[in-house]
Amino acid sequence: MPRDTLTGSRIRERRISRGMKQADLARKAGISASYLNLIEHNRRRIGGKLLMGIADILGVDATLLTEGAGAALIATLREAALDMPAIPAEQDRVDEFAGRFPGWAQLLADTHTRVAMLERSVETLTDRMTHDPQLAASLHEMLSTVTAIRSAASILAEPGEIEPEWQARFHRNIFEDSGRLTEASRGLVAYLETEGEAASETGTPQEELDHVLEGAGHHVAALETADGDVAAVGDEIGGGLSAAARSLLADWLTRYAADARALPQDDMARAVAELGADSALLAQRFEMDPARIMRRLAALPPDVLSEPVGLAICDASGVLTYRKPLPDFPMPRFGAACPLWPLYRALSRPFVLMSAAVRPLVQVGRDTTVLRSETWAAPRGSLAVNRDPLFEAHMIVRPEKRGRETDEAQEVGVACRICPREACEGRREPSILSGGT
Amino acid sequence: MSGHVLLIEDEPNIIEAIGFILSRDGWRVDTHSNGVDAVDVVRAKAPDVVILDVMLPGRSGYDILRDLRNDPVTQTLPILMLTARGQSKDREMAERAGVSRFMTKPFSNAEVLDAVRALKAS
């Protein structure tokens, strides 16, 4: 129903909230009660002098009766008041508040909605961490099975004779339990991977952005043309994101579009075919900022690149603001990365394009590939007089060329929590992995 | 040292391993795998020490422990609780319910044996 046809309803609501009888209002307004009844049920239009008179009697602005406030806004404000019963908000005057101060009312309503969303996210994350029944059950089963294996193995390993019948029984138990442990581990990994896919529903804005970029393959074809529309692309791929994540996405897309205009994909593809994904050579060829070269490399579609390319970008505090991991070079989804990454060294060597071999330490006993990293740190944003610039660092990682693998590669981890390297000056917290190099 | 241990645990291979090491050490071991009637079984068997798992089919080990502590007959019975959850709040919950000793999985055979011996001696 259009808003202006609800004037009668608003008069009725206002009259009832003031405890005034219909007959009394009609009398004061100089009309019959039956006519006011028709008005209040929106069966007669009202305007002009009569409307002004009724508004005056009810003590409200006439526009509040004709335009009112949005039903959704009123409902949200009422909800906000109900959520905090200790504060005696004048609920009977909510319409008036929204009508007289629409901006403040909308601010209050939006803040209430945002608080509710944040509370839900906190609840979900807390629940996932502490009361996740699937995770708890999987871990419980794994620990129970490990306990059984450990007990049986200890009995077999201890000195002294064990009857052959018991010996056979414990061997069989270990065999059975190791099978169970394998199944439980697989189940847990599958569950955690599924959880990871759904992380954008409750994650931080940065996680939401990571999820969208991952879904897009870090390539936006619509922005590779000169007339690419950043806002339209943002609407298309950013649907369902939080406001904060949409803002991050808009910044990223704006930068992407500027990079694409400065260095079109076709030019980049031809140069990569000739020189390889070497940031230094490409920067020299195009006489361009190596950071832009690195971002363009990371944005190339897989059919253009002969080898995969990963990219990490961090701000001056070391926080990762962009991550495109490689299977051999995972990047942490949460928290800080390994401080041994050449990315962080670049922050102390700005304007120096550095190249280094790295060997990611992912798991004890697992052979890992040597990768080539190239890093570059430079100020972000415009320069200003007497103000220190804020630096940003980029790090490209790609498979090392055959024959160039070297033992001198720097061993680096993903993050302390899951790093097997024990003797490390960069360690911030203990690892959950045992053993190490 | 020897005595009578009642092991309430639903994991058959843990039952077998713990049962074996206790028996070898001279203990008489009874086992039970269900939480629902565990309290009745404790009363009926009247062991010297109870080893009680937290996550049992039918009833939580915490509930069983509370019932046993509310019964004058089993109020001071030594009870060793086993759990895969090692968080401090789980330990606190067990202590509030009156546990004698709390042990998190995975534990070693020697730890269990030492704990049972110590509980019997106390």
Contacts of B85 in chain A (CB under 8 A): 136, 140
A173, A150 in Cβ contact below 8 A?
Answer: no
Any chain B CB within 8 A of the CB of A167? no
Distance separating the N- and C-terminal Cα atoms of chain B: 12
> Out of B14, B20, B107, whose CB is closest to A155?
B20
Chain B residue with minimal CA distance to A172?
A: B13
Which residues of A, range 107-136, sit inside 8 Å of B by Cβ?
136
- Dihedral of CA A28/A34/A39/A45: which sign? negative
**Sheet with strand A354-360: strands edge to edge:** A320-324, A310-314, A390-399, A371-380, A354-360, A410-412
pTM attached to this predicted model: 0.49
Q: What is the ipTM, given to two decimal places?
A: 0.86
Chain B residue with minimal CA distance to A131?
A: B85
Distance separating the N- and C-terminal Cα atoms of chain A: 72
Contacts of B107 in chain A (CB under 8 A): 147
Contacts of B29 in chain A (CB under 8 A): none
Distance CA A65, CA A115 (A): 30
Q: Which long-range contacts (CB under 8 A, 24 or more apart) does A116-123 make?
A: A117/A242, A121/A202
Any chain A CB within 8 A of the CB of B29? no
The CATH classification number of B4-121 equals 3.40.50.2300
DSSP-assigned states of every residue in A140-153: HHHHHHHHHHHHHH
Contacts of A157 in chain B (CB under 8 A): none
Contacts of B84 in chain A (CB under 8 A): 139-140, 143-144, 147
Distance CA A198, CA A132 (A): 15
Name the H helices within chain B.
12-24, 38-45, 61-70, 88-97, 109-121
Answer whether the bond into residue B106 is a cis peptide, omega within 30°. Answer: yes
Across the interface, whether the CB atoms of A151 and B18 are under 8 A apart is answered yes
pLDDT on residue A108: 87
Across the interface, whether the CB atoms of B106 and A140 are under 8 A apart is answered no
- Dihedral of CA A284/A290/A295/A297: which sign? positive
Q: State the CB neighbour count (10 A cutoff) for residue B55.
A: 20
Interface test with A, best of B51, B55, B85, B105 (most A CBs within 10 A): B105
Distance CA A98, CA A94 (A): 6
pLDDT on residue A198: 52
pLDDT on residue A36: 92
Any chain A CB within 8 A of the CB of B90? no
User: Going residue by residue through chain A (437 aa), what tens digit of pLDDT does each one get?
Assistant: 344 567 888 888 888 878 899 999 999 999 999 999 999 888 888 888 899 999 999 888 887 787 766 666 777 888 888 878 888 888 878 777 777 677 788 888 888 888 877 776 666 666 555 555 566 667 777 888 888 998 898 888 877 778 888 889 999 999 888 888 887 787 777 767 665 555 445 567 888 888 889 888 899 999 998 888 999 999 888 888 888 889 999 999 999 999 999 999 999 999 999 999 999 999 999 999 999 999 999 999 988 888 889 999 999 999 999 999 887 788 887 678 899 999 999 999 999 999 999 988 765 445 567 889 999 999 988 878 888 889 999 999 998 876 665 558 888 988 887 777 778 888 887 776 544 33
Q: Which residues contact A293 (CB under 8 A, 6 or more apart)?
A: A263, A279, A282, A283, A286
Amino acid at A34: S
A253, A223 in Cβ contact below 8 A?
Answer: yes
Which residues of B, range 91-110, sit inside 8 Å of A by Cβ?
105-110
Q: State the CB neighbour count (10 A cutoff) for residue A423.
A: 7
- Residue-range domain boundaries for chain B: 4-121
